[in-house]
Structure 1
Amino acid sequence: MRIGTWNLEGRWDARHRDLVDSMDCDVMLLTEVSECFELPGYDVHLGQQLMMPERRWAAVASRLPMRPEPDPHGASAMVVIEGLRVCSSVLPWRSCGTHGPWTGSTTAEKTAEAVAAVESVRPTVWGGDWNHALSGREWAGSMAGRRYLLAAVERLSLQVPTAWEPHHLEDLLSIDHLAVPQSWTVDAVGRHRAFVGTGRISDHDAYAIDVSIDTTDD
């Protein structure tokens, strides 16, 4: 299975569609998704809450049949695909404010609450714009928020193959992630730069992983 993630920054046109098509993923965990998003060959489930007018926090697009589930958190969307619980999330960042869907007064508190909400539904596959690097310098989130996130990943028995992928900003690591069960084999990990010509089409690059699924624990 090939799984990808991309923060679309609320944009969607032929350039974005071409990049997603070139990634050739079975499942895409999308964030900051325009309500005009459509992708031929994929079923799409948008999370319920608006980030701003005509932009949803999160969505899942799948070539495989899927069943929508209730959003575990206001900035997340969740589905079931072939028995796998798949969740796409935006997690808090330093300047995200204190309005909904965030709860808490600090980045760490808001991250802890959002992470706990997602962890409670025990996703099999979890990803999106986590707004935290998982090692090294922390630029968007908080070190305490990172610790909450890493602890939840460990309790869920997940691995994060994107943890060492580069950010598009020099000397930073990715804040967009894909987490899958530790029992799965990760065959490839890659970044897809969000450029057309010399211009960016999103302020985030996209990422994809190829995995071989271990079903012995099903």
Structure 2
Amino acid sequence: MRIGTWNLAGRWSDAHLALLLEADCDVWLLTEVNERSSLPGYALHLTQSRMAARRRWAGIASRLPMASLPDPHPASAAAQVGATTYVSSILPWKGCQSRAPWTGTKHADKTAHAVDDLLLHLRAADVLVWGGDWNHAISGKEYAGSLGGRTVVLDAVDQLGLAVPTADLPHPIEDLLSIDHVAVPRGTATTASRILAEHDGKRLSDHDAYVVEVFTTSVVE
């Protein structure tokens, strides 16, 4: 089972499609999804809310049978694939404003409000895979989020019984760690890798793509 995540930065082209298909993922947890996006052989479910014109906050693409679920937060998409609930989220970034879908003044408060809303729904999942653009590194220097926000995210991961195989993968900016993640049930055997989001020497997004391969068939299917 291969699960990927990529922030598309609202862009779409044949090169974006080629990267997604060549990664050979069964499920993609996508963020900043252009409404023109289409993956042959995949069902695609997007958030109801728009981040900007023609750009949805998040989406889930699956080449396995998938049932769409209600958005657990305006910036998160959810779907059921087999026995597993998949959730793709954007969490608040350091410069986001105090307006919908974010609540609070300080960044850590905005993160806490968003994560609390998500936990109300995510705790009910029998088997959960949660990922997307969390805007936080799991360790090391914090660039996109805040240390207070990171504490909130790590606490949620712990409450949900998850592990984050993408935690030690690099960010496109040198000396930083990824803020895009895939979290799976703790104890799941995995490998994680980064895919450079480039084509002909040009960036396809300011985010790279990340793929987690799951080997424990009884946990995630």
Instruction: Report the equivalent of 2:53.
Output: 53
Q: Secondary structure of the residue that 2:153 maps to in structure 1? A: helix
Q: Secondary structure of the residue that 1:59 maps to in structure 2? A: strand
Q: Which amino acid aligns with 2:34?
A: S
Q: Distance in 1 between matches of 2:59 and 2:217?
A: 25
Matches within 5 A, 1:57-76: 57-76=57-76
Q: Which runs of 4+ in 1 moved over 3 A?
A: none
Q: Distance in 2 between matches of 1:48 and 1:174?
A: 27
Partner residue of 1:127 out of 128, 131, 152: 131
Q: Which amino acid aligns with 1:128?
A: G
1:80 Cα shift? 0.7
- Percent of aligned pairs with the same residue? 52
Cα RMSD after superposing both structures: 1.4
Instruction: Report the equivalent of 1:198.
Output: 201
CA offset digits 1:94-129 (Å, max 9, x no partner): 111111100111110110111111222125000000
Structure 1: stretches of 5+ with no match in the other structure: none
Contact 1:185–1:214 under 8 Å retained in 2: no
Check if 1:210 corresponds to 2:213: yes
Instruction: Report the equivalent of 1:177.
Output: 181
1:183 Cα shift? 2.9
Instruction: Report the equivalent of 2:25.
Output: 25
- TM-score, normalised via structure 1 length: 0.97
Check if 1:91 corresponds to 2:91: yes
The count of residues paired between Structure 1 and Structure 2 equals: 217
Q: Distance in 2 between matches of 1:39 and 1:214?
A: 25
Check if 1:146 corresponds to 2:150: yes
Q: Which amino acid aligns with 2:61?
A: A
Check if 1:6 corresponds to 2:6: yes
Q: Distance in 2 between matches of 1:37 and 1:96?
A: 25
Structure 2: stretches of 5+ with no match in the other structure: none
Contact 1:183–1:214 under 8 Å retained in 2: no
